[in-house]
Structures are given as structure tokens and as C-alpha cells.
Amino acid sequence: MAAPFPDERTAVVTGAGSRRGIGRATADRLARKGWSVAILDRDADGAAAVAAEVADRWEVAAIGLGTDVSDEAAVDVAVGEVEARLPPIVGLANVAGVSSPVPFLDLTAAEWDRVFDINMRGTFLVTRRVLPGMVERELGRIVSVSSISAQRGGGTYSKVPYSASKAALIGFSRALAREVGPAGVTVNCVAPGPVDTDIMGGRLTDERKAEMTVGMPVGRVGTAEEVAALMVFLLGPDAGYITAATYDINGGLQVS
């Protein structure tokens, strides 16, 4: 029998400092559902601003902390502060990510490491830090943002290191789900197709949108709010029987 979902609970959302990102939309939807929210982002001012915004709009507790998720010590300090100031951490949304449109033959080791440090190492460090509390309470929800690029080998904006790091997230989530499922913790991924956020290299022009939606059944790019809605469901009380899954949210561009 799964542990009951508490009324007082916190979700940690990484990479939610961007005004137009999936992380911010997820934080807002979580707060609307009554979650306390902790935002970890390299942009300390952005994290604080989004936390203040959702706290005021939805009358929940929220904090924003400037955190480099690839820095183990910084993650430890940030999560420690969340644990001290907010209700128990039940949810984790690993959204922090960086893109890389560099062609492979122009790729440096430093660029490869930059992408993997945020997209994969950061997910590992934050997940590893919050998991002990989830396991102790026998309840947790972890959702990480992969990408259609992991499934198709790129083809949207970013190239090899981005696709490889996002594919690594799927394997990471599936393996972790096996280990922590008996402790009441679920681990899943979402794999968005083209979404109009700044990770696509800035705002999408109508011309770029048209190029990205060739062959797509729904005929348009997605929104951060649509991806956030799926993530919040997977973080919620009704998703306890879903784990080790990768949810496509791509308008039909990739049929798995």
C-alpha cells in the first residue's frame, strides 16, 4: 500500500528561473495545485522572482535559490535549505538543461562537458540529494525532461551532445525506477518535441515553426504549459502506478 499523499508537500523544480521555460510553467502549475515550491536555478534573481510570483499568485510557500546543479556542494546546501524551510520534499522536476547547436566536427571536449554537466550530472546530483528523504517517507515522484532529440537523434535544434545527454536521462530514469520503486518512489521522463522556449535558440519565428512542424499531425509547436501539465500529473497523487515510463509529448512528430 502506497504512503498517503500529504497535504503539506514540496516540489523542487530545477531550471525554473527562465520566464519562458518549462520549469517556470511547471512551478506555477504545482503551486496552483497547492504544492510548496523550491526553485533551483543558476540565475538567482530569476529563481527568486518566479518564486515570489507563484507564492503571491497561489498563496503557497515558495523559495528561489541560485544554484549550479552541476556543483555537488551547491546542490547539498540548496536542498538542505529547502528541507529546513519548507514541508517534506515529495516531488522533483529535473528541468534544468542547456542546448548545443555545434556540429560534431566542431565540437570540443569543453562543450561536451558543459552540456552533460547540466543535463545529466545536474540531474544525478539533485536526484541523489533528495532521494533519501523520499525513501525514508516511502513516497516520492521524480520527473525529468528528456527530448524527442534523444529518440530521433536530433533534428530539431541541438545536436550530438544534447541528444546524447537527453538519451542518458531515459536510461538513468528507467534504472533508478527499478531500484527505488519498492520504496514508493516513481521515476519517469517526458520527451517534448519542438516547444517555443529559449532553449531552441530564442523565440521561434513563424518560418522556423513551419520548418519544425513538417509532417507533424497537429501542425504546430508545443507550449511550455502543455509540457508542464503532463509533468504535474506525473508528480501528483494519481500517478503512483506509473514508473520507468517515457511520455512523448510531441504533436505526433515521433511515434514510439
User: In the chain, what is the straight-line distance between the N-terminal and C-terminal CA atoms, in Å?
Assistant: 32
Tell me how far apart the alpha carbons of residues 48 and 39 are, in angstroms, rounded to a whole number: 8
* 13, amino acid identity: V
- Helix, strand or coil, per DSSP, at residue 217: coil
> Does the annotation mark 162 as catalytic?
yes
Instruction: Using alpha carbons, select from 50, 2, 6 the residue that is nearest to residue 24.
Output: 50
Instruction: Using alpha carbons, select from 191, 190, 173, 195 the residue that is nearest to residue 231.
Output: 190
Four-CA torsion 122, 124, 130, 133, nearest 10 degrees? -170
Tell me how far apart the alpha carbons of residues 181 and 184 are, in angstroms, rounded to a whole number: 5
Task: Answer positive or negative: Cα dihedral of 68, 71, 77, 80.
Answer: positive
In Å, the largest CA–CA distance within the chain is 53
**Which residues are known catalytic residues?**
162
